[in-house]
Amino acid sequence: MTKKVGGGLALDPYADYASLAFGKAGIRNLAYSLSQELSDKGIYVGTLTVKGFVKKGTPFSPEHIAATFYTMNQERSETEVAFEGK
């Protein structure tokens, strides 16, 4: 099982953050590529794309993100889940 966490800039790039967006897009591409290669072997690969700023006490709190990550791990059905706050 392999999981990665990426950011919303991979889905919605913003020119001022282009250098950061490249890395996020790379994580996303890697997750999809590994999923294609490893799913036949029973290995789950997924990426959780957080589309906001992580901050305690908000819909983007680490606890909410962790719960979504845990659900991904349990279900193992989606290569990518976009977390938009809970």
Strand ordering across the sheet containing 2-7: 2-7, 45-50, 80-83
pLDDT in tens, 46-72: 999 998 889 999 999 999 999 999 999
- Report d(CA 43, CA 4) in Å as an integer: 14
Give pTM, 2 decimals.
0.77
Q: How far is Cα 74 from Cα 26, in angstroms, rounded to an integer?
A: 25
